[in-house]
Amino acid sequence: MIDTEGDSAEWSFPAVPGAVRTARHAVHEALSCWGLDAAVGDVTVLLVSELVTNSMRYTAGPIGVRLERPRPDGEGPAARPGLLVEVSDPLPDPPTERMAGPDDEGGRGLQLVACSARRWGTRRGKSGKTVWFELALPG
Taking the model in full, what pTM does it have?
0.88
Lowest mean pLDDT of 10-19, 71-80, 106-115, name the range: 71-80
Please indicate whether residue 127 or residue 78 has the higher confidence score (pLDDT).
127
pLDDT above 80 (res 22) = yes
pLDDT above 80 (res 128) = yes
What digits encode the pLDDT tens for the residues 79-111?
567 899 999 999 998 888 777 777 777 777 888
pLDDT above 80 (res 72) = no
pLDDT above 80 (res 122) = yes
pLDDT above 50 (res 78) = no
Q: What percent of the chain has pLDDT over 70?
A: 88
Angle CA 63–65–71, to nearest 5: 165
Q: How much is the pLDDT for 103?
A: 77
Q: How much is the pLDDT for 4?
A: 52
Domains of the chain are 3-136 (3.30.565.10)
Q: How much is the pLDDT for 46?
A: 96
